Chain A
Amino acid sequence: MLGIKWLENREDKWRNFESEAMPFLPDLFRTAMWLARNRDEAEDLVQETMFQAMRSFHSYQMGTNCKAWLTRILYVQNVRRLRKMLKLKLVQDVDDEIAHTIPFEPQIPSEISDEEVIAAIGRLPEIYRIVLVLADIEELSYKEISSIVDIPMGTVMSRLSRGRRVLRIELADYASRHGFGDQEKAAAR
């Protein structure tokens, strides 16, 4: 009887994990792609994350945002992965440097393709990119991002603000180089 009860508990735990965590697999993969920039490595990262999440599922508080909880594990796994690959570079906090080099906020022409938008996000400095991805694509709150990336909320806000600005400038620059947006500017005048 004990054995059967124990099996039922495992079945229950799996069902809870399946219903709470598995629906976020596509979202998790998207974030993993931003972190790993390679499909095979993103899949490995998601797999490691999900196995880790299942082992730690007892620490998840039901009713809280499971996507944020999983994303935190994904982020930690990625840091471990980078350390293991000895590719972890010390990232200088270039916040101030960039903040002083942003003179204006241009309009973004609509002709720019989705591919160029994605490429421009990919070119963002990593410290801005991850915050922008979590806020604007994955729609996580400042508080959740602060917990995932392990930085204060004020830093989340400033990095997001600067990341968005850099992205606007990148896309406006691309548009002007390719002659997009001239008609919109003329119409605005």
Chain B
Amino acid sequence: MTEQHEKFCSLMKDYRPGLFHDAKGILRNDTDAEDAVSETTCKAFANLNKLRNFESFKPWVMKILVNEAYGIARKRKRTEPLDDISDESGNSDILESLELWNAVKLLNVEFRTVTVLFYYEDMNIKEISKILNLPQGTVNSRLNRSREKLKTILTRKEAT
């Protein structure tokens, strides 16, 4: 095993809870999220030779994860709720148990992704735009909409 592989093993073990969490944020179920992390582990290991600097490991592996998660979502052809969250948020049982994570899960997939990266991974707009291959303006607008929706959901929760 090379020094690079030793670093890989160590970093992967450090980051995998977060990777799982982020994948679940996109895919919303444990099985798919674990599949995404497994695929990410394999692809990152196989392509480690293409990573020039371990300082870039986190955004690099995160980008692989996001692509894997999107790929799994596409393959399974799951339909995601659109912008209107009223159907799910109207469910009082869900509302009563809402924590931040449950609130995030109610967002549309593209809003969930930016939300997870921004709030949970503490990435800035520029970093998120690189991971998602999106213009910073698009990330910013998605984040603004996510922020508004989260405010609405969490305020409703407080009100109940």
| A and B co-occur in one complex | no
Interface residues of B (CB under 8 A from A): none
Binding site for B on A (CB under 8 A): none
